[in-house]
Amino acid sequence: MYEDNRLHIWSDEGVGHAEEAAPHAHLADLIDRADPAFTQIVQAVGRFTEAGVELTEEMVTAAIKLGRAEQRRWTMADGSAFKAERIPAEGKHDAVVYYVRRGALIKIGTTTELRRRMREILPEELLALEPGSIGIENQRHHQFSALRVPGQREWFHAGPVLQEHVLRMRATHGVPDQPLPTLPG
């Protein structure tokens, strides 16, 4: 779908219609996909668009600064950074995007109550977590849309690009080794 690997985080409007997407296309070039704060930068851009803020170079630059500040907060050396094992045993917590496996399929979802959500969907395995909510979940769904299971919104085939992403999330945010409800092995 995005053979030229251009970053498309602005909206689903105009997807496949270059003339409609063109006004913001150059703004995507301001964001380095290899930036360790990429996820947080995308979240900041998403918050701006959800708030109805017009995206300009200045706003994308502000999102980059906010994203990098958030990344520093998540990776603080004092141990207060986000790690998969820091999800509380019960109750609400900051939103996370989760990656779970059932068979050869991967579900990408978001929740503020991971334990409750795992009881509901009973995956075979919790693969990874990443800080973020619906904006990041939507970005991931769009990012891996070529792997989407037909007729499903949140289930994807475990293609190499998705597996690679899961491994990056595990390297960045830790391996979710907490005991959570899953299908009996």
Same domain, 94 and 29: no
CA-wise closest residue to 70 among 168, 136, 142, 144: 136
Say yes or no: 155 and 102 in one domain: yes
Nearest to 89 by CA among 183, 173, 179, 184: 179
Mark which of 48, 74, 100 sits at the end of a domain.
Answer: 74
Q: Determine the Cα–Cα distance for residues 102 and 83; give it in Å rounded to an integer.
A: 23
Tell whether 88 and 61 lie within a shared domain: no
| Domain stop point among 49, 74, 99 | 74
Yes or no: say if 98 and 111 are a contact pair by the CB < 8 Å rule.
yes
Q: What is the pLDDT of residues 58-77, one digit of tens each?
A: 998 998 898 888 767 655 54
Please report, to the nearest 10 degrees, the dihedral formed by the alpha carbons of residues 157, 1, 142, 129 taken in order. Answer: 50
Q: Do 128 and 95 sit in the same domain of this protein?
A: yes
Mean pLDDT of 120-143: 91
Please give the residue that has the higher pLDDT: either 86 or 167. 167
Q: Are residues 63 and 106 in the same domain?
A: no
Residue 116 placed within a domain: yes
The answer to whether residue 79 sits within a structural domain is: no
Give a yes or no: residue 4 inside a domain. no
Q: Are residues 99 and 142 in the same domain?
A: yes
| pLDDT exceeds 50 at position 86 | yes
Assigned token pair, 31 = 């964001």
Query: Do 118 and 147 reside in the same domain of the chain?
Result: yes
How many domains, the chain? 2
Q: Tell whether 101 and 63 lie within a shared domain.
A: no
Same domain as 114, residue 67: no
167 inside domain: yes
Q: What is the pTM of this model?
A: 0.55
Say if residue 148 is in the same domain as residue 97: yes
Same-domain pairing of 169 and 92? yes
Residue 37 belongs to domain spanning: 18-74
Same domain, 41 and 122: no
* Domain-embedded: residue 49: yes
Within-domain flag for 185: no
Query: Is it the case that residue 173 has pLDDT exceeding 70?
Result: yes
